[in-house]
Amino acid sequence: MAVLVVRSIDLDEGMAEVAYWTVPAARGRNIAARAVRAASTWMFRSVGLHRLELSHSTLNPAWCRIAEKAGYPYEGTRHLPMGYRPNPGDRERTHEMTRMSLTPARHLQSRHQGFYA
C-alpha cells in the first residue's frame, strides 16, 4: 500500500532524507503521514539522528500536507537545474521540508562529553 524510504544516511552529521509514496487506494487515510512520523521518531530515538529532510514537487500539494502532518514544516523552495525533472510534468522546483530532533544527537553527545550533561 505504501513505501517509506530513509536514504542518504549520514551518521557523522546525524542527517538523512525521507521519501514516501502510496498507492491510490491508500490515499486519504493518513497512512503516509503516520508512517513518516513513526519512522522519523524511530530515526531520532534509535539511530540518533538529529535532522531529517524530505522534498516534494511543488505541483503536488498532497505531499506537502503529508509532510506537515508528519511534523515537517516548510523550509524553502529549491530550484532544480535546468532540464532536470525527477518526475514528468515537474517544473523544476521542489519544496524542502525538515524535521529536527528535540534532543541532541548521539554523535554530538559523544564528541562533546559533558557538554549535554
Measured CA to CA, the distance from residue 98 to residue 13 in angstroms comes to 15
Question: How far is Cα 18 from Cα 52, in angstroms, rounded to an integer?
Answer: 7
The pLDDT tens digits for 63-84 are 889 999 999 999 888 877 655 5
- 2-111 homologous superfamily: Gcn5-related N-acetyltransferase (GNAT) (3.40.630.30)
Q: For the whole model, what pTM was predicted?
A: 0.75
Domain boundaries, the chain: 2-111
Beta bridge partners of 113: none
Q: How confident is the model at residue 2 (pLDDT cuts 50, 70, 90)?
A: confident
Q: Tens digit of pLDDT for each residue in 19-63?
A: 988 888 888 898 999 999 999 999 999 898 999 999 888 888 888
Sequence-ordered list of residues with C-beta below 8 angstroms from that of 3, at least 6 positions apart, any chain: 20, 21, 22
Q: If we measure between CA atoms, which residue out of 32, 17, 94 comes closest to residue 58?
A: 94
